[in-house]
Amino acid sequence: MWDETGAIRKDPGGRLNIALVYPNTYWVGMSNLGLHTMYRVFNDHPSIVCERFFTDSPRSVESSRHLNDFHIIAFSVSYELDWINMIRILLDNRIPVRREDRRGSPIVMAGGAAATINPEPVAEALDFCFLGEGEPLGDALADAFFASNGYRGFLERLAKVPGIYLPEQTRPVYEGERIRGFEGSRPVISVVRPFDNPGHSVILTDKTVFQDMFLTEIARGCPFNCRFCTAREIYSPFRPVEVDRLLPVLDRAARSGKKLGLVSTSLNNHPRLTRLLEEIDARGLKIAPPSLRLGMISEELLAYMKASRVNEVTLAPEVGSDTLRAALGKRVSGEEILKDVISLVRSGIRDIKLYFMVGLPGEEQKDIDDLIDLVKRIRQTFIQVSRGNRRIGRVSVSINTMVPKPHSRYERAALLEPGEAKKRITKIVKGLKSQSNVIVSFEGPKWAYIQALIARGDRRVLDVLTEMAAHDPSKWQEVLRSWPRNPDYYALREREPDEILPWSFYSHFERDQCRDGEEG
């Protein structure tokens, strides 16, 4: 049905059966490298059989089995809004949402970026959660499953594994609305070191976002420190993959006949970029670069992108003003951005996608004017340089409201009120309306509001998530209105400097060691 190659089918008999569920569509999920990695990790284990589920594949892709046929239901969750889909999947399969109502059968777990950033909104739904990098999970689950003879014994064995979080063993203590402290155990985030087994596409299909790419992870973590970002925080330290370790993956990519989709927060910072590009070139692979770090686009990379006929790149100036950009941790000026645009267009780039945000702490109306002005300058430069090319391309501008995320430097910041966010976005849209070759898109600020509510939620948020999952998605505002709690308390509010945050009971040891004194 899905027209794919690379799916793994194993006899489920005598094995630990894991349902790997991506709580979104097949189209979205199959471009998620984390899903490919966990599918490979689980199925590489001789005692595990792992099959995939999506919102539009309620039975397993591999064998059409039901969720209830599996010992463990493992949700891979990258985005907070997908927690609602996770609960909807449980409801649709008549699986009790709350852990206490399931009594160990089936076992429901979650991992992935959203789970690592803050698992608390769904903590009462999960038997366990995996925080951080999931590669050790296959061995840990198989060992605990086959060495124990029941649910309790299984969890007890798992509890010793770094990254495993058992919500029933950690209890937030509330005082009124606020959390006064935590009782019980304190998990840590799993970090894979050495990082020498990079993620890559396992199953190839044309029915996904990155359908023309073979995805390959060339580094994990990020050397920069943008204040709004969690990528740096939860996946530190920055670990480029040794080129020799990438060679077998490059060979597979070459055999796939697809472009090589390089996955990294910072391609420009791979310490052996020259050698890596040579090896890619030697295999005749074309590349699809990730978002490029502004101010650091080298001649060498430009030349390779030209040879690969890359015709679109993504850049993230984030804001229009240099001062605000520096304040959020990106020390690159508008002039440097324009220089990069010139270099990119000269090396054959036809279309440029720009990411911007509104609602950053300290943002003023002037910053919105600066954003409009920067896009106009980029467009003007882009068109001038493009005249030498056969076709003048597009500048696509994507605007999002900044959602303060747990573990980022802005984790305590207020969310810009949706009405004000809408005004600022509307001003940008109007300001750029008459600009030819510029296309503006944005995410509705109300989605940022829901995202913020969930992202910084505590265990009391599960009730409203369950109600949202049980109702038509268009009814979310009514559901929020009927919730006895105040959603603004979670979504909008700036947190007090001494307030104990719902996710503050677990930590990332290495990050805490190295965060002071660094800058983006």
The residues that touch ligand SF4, with contacts defined as CB under 6 A, are: 222, 224-226, 229, 231-232, 265-266, 520
- The DSSP code for 208 is S
Q: Measured between alpha carbons, how far is 516 from 504 in angstroms, rounded to an integer?
A: 18
- Cβ proximity to ligand SF4, 172 vs 329, nearer residue: 329
Please, what sign has the CA dihedral across residues 508, 513, 517, 520?
negative
Give the β-pairing of 72-76 and 107-111.
Answer: parallel
Residue 298: name the closest of 347, 226, 259 by CA.
Answer: 347
Question: Residue 146: exposed, middle, or buried by beta-carbon count in 10 A (0-12, 13-18, 19+)?
Answer: middle
Q: In the complex, what is the shortest distance from the CB of residue 233 to ligand SF4, in angstroms, rounded to a whole number? A: 8
Q: Which residues pair with 4 in a beta bridge?
A: 205
- Cβ proximity to ligand SF4, 161 vs 189, nearer residue: 189
Q: In the complex, what is the shortest distance from the CB of residue 228 to ligand SF4, in angstroms, rounded to a whole number? A: 7
Give the β-pairing of 239-240 and 219-220.
Answer: antiparallel
- Cβ proximity to ligand SF4, 232 vs 459, nearer residue: 232
Q: In the complex, what is the shortest distance from the CB of residue 113 to ligand SF4, in angstroms, rounded to a whole number? A: 12
- Cβ proximity to ligand SF4, 122 vs 231, nearer residue: 231
Q: In the complex, what is the shortest distance from the CB of residue 229 to ligand SF4, in angstroms, rounded to a whole number? A: 3
Q: What CA–CA distances, in Å, run from 377 to 356, 372, 476?
A: 15, 9, 40
Q: In the complex, what is the shortest distance from the CB of residue 77 to ligand SF4, in angstroms, rounded to a whole number? A: 19
| Owner of token pair 């700036």 | 494
Sorted by sequence, the CB contacts under 8 Å of residue 232 that are 6+ apart come out as 221, 222, 224, 225, 226, 265
480 HSE (CA, 13 A, CB side): 17
Q: In the complex, what is the shortest distance from the CB of residue 331 to ligand SF4, in angstroms, rounded to a whole number? A: 11
Residue 16: name the closest of 52, 42, 53, 35 by CA.
Answer: 42
Q: In the complex, what is the shortest distance from the CB of residue 205 to ligand SF4, in angstroms, rounded to a whole number? A: 27
- Cβ proximity to ligand SF4, 162 vs 334, nearer residue: 334
- Cβ proximity to ligand SF4, 159 vs 296, nearer residue: 296
- Cβ proximity to ligand SF4, 314 vs 396, nearer residue: 314
